[in-house]
């Protein structure tokens, strides 16, 4: 029932894009790559089609979807108000890994926005995504193409594992670039507020707007603070294994991971370490996956979700993960690791 097709992002086969657009226009679902993660798309103006997304993912109805557009001007069809600062931000970071929350127009149903007065809108940079939106001539609603609660997919294989038989088409466009979902920034407040950190960082936004803050719910990992982004309240991005994250100086992190590894091993548990290029050498003889280079956080963001899934495939019960500095992309990496981790140990 699910058709799987390969598309080269550097040499797009428009016959396939046409077929995919037809599925969208007939109320079906198409999974496509973006520069962040894969998305499961449907016509944002067709409630029945949008409903198929919620069903396929097992997504709670109170979690609103992002609507994807291909031109900045499309924004005016969907948002009732586009403040000057939103124009400035879009001018700089669209197309790209950034989603803006704006007051919505009535054309967007309560199904898409989970009854909120605002909508999440994004203009991606991936050429396959853009071609699909242009060809279908529809805004496309697309959450990440994972089963709800699992790490977002960064390769078509992850989508096949989660959604085979549950969607009409999967477009395999290779690995995504950033590997973490877009930055969600609320533009309806006087000071723009980041509801979910991602590829466009707070530093990037401050550079062009002067001001930007984090939603308090993503700074403190305190369950009493209700996040403004409904999706942030779920314990997300979690692999089957228990994830323990270690925070502190790199020496202390390594020491504690080595000690705990040996302790868990005596208990007969299957343990894996998520190491980095800089620390790998301290874990010889242990099960490790090197997630990337601390001096190039893009390598870590792009591998993180894939490696969490790999640990599951290896049948690990426990994953010991190192933290990174919360600067730049590090903020988004730590936000996702924090959600995956059942336990954070300060060392
Ligand atoms: O990178 C991405 O954003 C990917 C690709 C496919 O574009 N999409 C994605 O969608 O991550 P999803 O549905 O997994 O995450 C959307 C997030 C959720 O946390 C949701 O709660 C939040 O955006 N959101 C959507 N509409 C909102 C609104 N009106 N106000 C606040 N948060 C909203
Ligand atoms: Mg998601």
Give the distance (Å) from ligand 1 centre to CA of residue 316.
29
CB 11 within 8 A of CB 132: no
**pLDDT value for 219:** 77
| Total Cβ atoms within 10 A of residue 226 | 11
Report the C-alpha gap between 176 and 154 in whole angstroms.
Answer: 5
- Closest-lying ligand 1 atom to the alpha carbon of residue 97: 1
Residue of 110, 126, 144 with the most ligand 1 atoms within 8 Å of its CB, for mutation? 144
**pLDDT value for 229:** 82
**Ordered strands of the 66-68 beta sheet:** 3-6, 169-172, 30-32, 39-43, 140-141, 66-68, 118-122, 98-103, 183-186, 193-196, 213-214
**pLDDT value for 218:** 82
For atom 17 of ligand 1, the residue with the nearest CA is 231
pLDDT in single tens digits along all 347 residues of the chain:
999 999 999 999 999 999 999 999 999 999 999 999 999 999 999 999 999 999 999 999 999 999 999 999 999 999 999 999 999 999 999 999 999 999 999 999 999 999 999 999 999 999 999 999 999 999 999 999 999 989 999 999 999 999 999 999 999 999 999 999 999 999 999 999 999 999 999 999 999 999 999 999 887 766 677 778 887 776 666 777 899 999 999 999 999 999 999 999 999 999 999 999 999 999 999 999 999 999 999 999 999 999 999 999 999 999 999 999 999 999 999 999 998 998 899 99
pTM, rounded to two decimals: 0.96
- Closest-lying ligand 1 atom to the alpha carbon of residue 63: 21
Give the distance (Å) from ligand 2 centre to CA of residue 262.
35
Residue where the block lists tokens 């198409």: 30
**pLDDT value for 332:** 97
Give the distance (Å) from ligand 1 centre to CA of residue 81.
19
| Complex ipTM value | 0.99
**pLDDT value for 230:** 80
Report the C-alpha gap between 339 and 234 in whole angstroms.
Answer: 8
- Closest-lying ligand 1 atom to the alpha carbon of residue 196: 19
**pLDDT value for 335:** 94
Residue of 56, 105, 231, 335 with the most ligand 1 atoms within 8 Å of its CB, for mutation? 231
Residue where the block lists tokens 């779920």: 234
Cβ neighbours for 62, distance < 8 A, ≥ 6 positions apart: 114, 115, 230
Residue where the block lists tokens 């998305």: 39
Check the CA dihedral 34-36-42-44 and report its sign: negative
Report the C-alpha gap between 183 and 251 in whole angstroms.
Answer: 31
């Amino acid at each position: 029932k699910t058709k799987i097709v390969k598309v080269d992002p550097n040499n797009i086969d428009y016959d396939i894009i046409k077929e995919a657009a037809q599925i969208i226009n007939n109320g079906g679902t198409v999974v496509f790559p973006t520069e962040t993660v894969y998305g499961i798309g449907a016509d944002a103006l067709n409630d029945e089609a949008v409903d198929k997304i919620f069903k396929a993912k097992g997504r709670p109805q109170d979690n609103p979807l992002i609507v994807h557009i291909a031109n900045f001007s499309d924004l005016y069809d969907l948002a009732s108000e586009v403040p000057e600062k939103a124009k400035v931000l879009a001018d700089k970071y669209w197309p790209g890994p950034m989603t803006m929350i704006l007051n919505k127009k009535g054309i967007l149903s309560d199904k898409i926005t989970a009854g909120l007065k605002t909508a999440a809108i994004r203009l991606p940079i991936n050429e396959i995504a853009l071609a699909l939106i242009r060809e279908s001539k529809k805004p496309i609603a697309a959450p990440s193409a994972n089963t709800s609660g699992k790490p977002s997919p960064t390769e078509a294989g992850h989508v096949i594992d989660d959604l085979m038989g549950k969607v009409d088409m999967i477009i395999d466009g290779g690995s995504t670039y950033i590997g973490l979902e877009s930055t969600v920034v609320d533009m309806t407040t006087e000071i723009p507020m980041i509801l979910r950190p991602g590829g466009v960082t707070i530093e990037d936004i401050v550079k062009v707007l002067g001001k930007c803050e984090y939603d308090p719910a993503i700074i403190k990992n305190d369950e009493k603070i209700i996040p403004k982004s409904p999706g942030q309240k779920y314990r997300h991005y979690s692999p089957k294994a228990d994830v323990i994250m270690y925070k502190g100086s790199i020496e202390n992190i390594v020491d504690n991971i080595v000690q705990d590894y040996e302790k868990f091993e005596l208990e007969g548990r299957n343990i894996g370490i998520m190491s980095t290029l800089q620390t790998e050498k301290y874990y010889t003889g242990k099960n490790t996956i090197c997630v990337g280079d601390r001096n190039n956080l893009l390598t870590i963001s792009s591998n993180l979700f894939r490696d969490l899934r790999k640990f599951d495939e290896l049948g690990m019960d426990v994953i010991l993960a190192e933290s990174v500095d919360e600067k730049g992309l590090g903020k988004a990496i730590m936000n996702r690791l924090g959600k995956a981790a059942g336990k954070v140990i300060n060392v």
